């Protein structure tokens, strides 16, 4: 194995600058004009961001070592899979506020910019706590087990903006317009600046991601406590969330059991953190378990959905014959 390189400040700087360059290219060139993101375009961008993550993992191997590359890959898959649950909630938020399809990409872009900043701060705080108090790993592990169990047995609920305290505060502090003004978050009404409904949607998306981050960030600490690996895997997973939303938005009904798979993943990584060091599973085995859980959840979801569709079609044909 090649010698492990030390992570310097400029490694962080280069990674962040590359990400900001791609984000600027995305918004300033490819999505400068608001338009409906179609399935083919979304699938292409999903492939681009996935390829970027895989190339980054490949580059880590000769630089930091195969174990760190595997940790990045495992963390990336955990974060990406947990982000998929966020996709379902974002879809409900857009439906609740009746956000036109052409405006949704702009909300997701700025939502993810905010998410990157929030997650960066949370990862920094989490890494500092673990470095000083190693027992914090057990606190995170217990939290994930409890969260996963609650998520497993919780009833399906819609979004409730009226219960969101940050949204309530926003409504109280700022004037609000009733109508969208294209992709603007701030508009002018009767000579004064007001927030558009799109700004409220952005607030909802940001607060929702903050809640999901409370689950997903502790989960990756079950794989590694290296701040650089935690941050980069998190960022790469979040960057693919926008395009992943547009890929999955029209097929959410086909992933009804994914929630249960994600719950089991949370419980699994939580238990991994709670076990003594010499009993813990290797990173490669943990990766196999996580991928296996997600594969089974998605396969069962698709099988049930296709079976229901087949029975419905068969019932319709029988009704025509009668």
CA 220 to chain centre: 13
Q: Summarize pLDDT for 215-256 with one digit per residue, the tens.
A: 778 888 888 888 899 999 988 988 888 777 877 766 666 777
Beta strands per DSSP E along 88-206: 186-189, 192-195
**Is 0.85 topped by the overall pTM?**
no
The pLDDT averaged over each successive group of 10 residues in the chain (322 residues) is 60 87 73 71 84 91 85 89 78 84 84 84 88 85 87 69 78 83 83 86 85 81 88 88 76 76 87 76 84 89 84 72 62
257 in Cβ contact with 300 (< 8 Å): yes
Q: Is 102 left (phi over 0), alpha (psi -120 to 50) or beta?
A: alpha
Q: Summarize pLDDT for 288-308 with one digit per residue, the tens.
A: 888 899 889 889 988 888 888
> What is the maximum span of the chain, computed from C-alpha positions, in angstroms?
75
* pLDDT at position 252: 66
* pLDDT at position 4: 45
* pLDDT at position 1: 37
Q: What phi and psi values does residue 187 have, to the nearest 5 degrees? A: -135, 180
Q: Cα-Cα-Cα-Cα dihedral of 54, 57, 63, 64, to 10°?
A: 180
């Amino acid at each position: 194995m090649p010698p492990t390189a030390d992570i310097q400040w400029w490694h962080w700087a280069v990674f962040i600058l590359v990400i900001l360059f791609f984000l600027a290219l995305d918004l300033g060139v490819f999505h400068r004009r608001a338009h409906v993101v179609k399935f083919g375009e979304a699938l292409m961008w999903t492939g681009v961001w996935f390829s970027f993550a895989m190339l980054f993992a490949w580059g880590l191997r000769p630089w930091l070592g195969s174990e760190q590359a595997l940790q990045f890959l495992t963390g990336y898959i955990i974060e990406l899979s947990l982000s998929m649950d966020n996709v379902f909630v974002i879809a409900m938020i857009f439906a609740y506020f009746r956000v036109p399809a052409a405006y949704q990409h702009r909300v997701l872009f700025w939502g993810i910019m905010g998410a990157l900043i929030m997650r960066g701060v949370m990862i920094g705080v989490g890494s500092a706590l673990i470095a000083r108090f190693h027992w914090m790993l057990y606190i995170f592990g217990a939290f994930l087990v409890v969260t996963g169990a609650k998520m497993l047995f919780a009833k399906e609920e819609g979004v409730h903006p009226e219960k969101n305290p940050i949204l309530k505060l926003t409504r109280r502090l700022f004037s609000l317009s009733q109508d969208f003004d294209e992709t603007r978050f701030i508009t002018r009404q009767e000579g004064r600046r007001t927030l558009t409904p799109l700004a409220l949607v952005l607030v909802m998306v940001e607060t929702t991601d903050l809640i999901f981050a409370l689950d997903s960030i502790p989960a990756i600490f079950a794989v590694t406590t290296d701040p650089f690996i935690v941050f980069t895997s998190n960022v790469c997973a979040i960057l693919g969330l926008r395009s992943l939303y547009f890929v999955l938005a029209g097929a959410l009904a086909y992933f009804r059991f994914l929630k249960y798979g994600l719950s089991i993943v949370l419980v699994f990584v939580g238990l991994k953190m709670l076990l003594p060091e010499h009993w813990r599973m290797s990173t490669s085995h943990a990766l196999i378990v996580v991928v296996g859980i997600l594969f089974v959840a998605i396969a069962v979801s698709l099988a049930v959905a296709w079976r229901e569709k087949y029975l419905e079609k068969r019932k319709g044909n029988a009704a025509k014959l009668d």
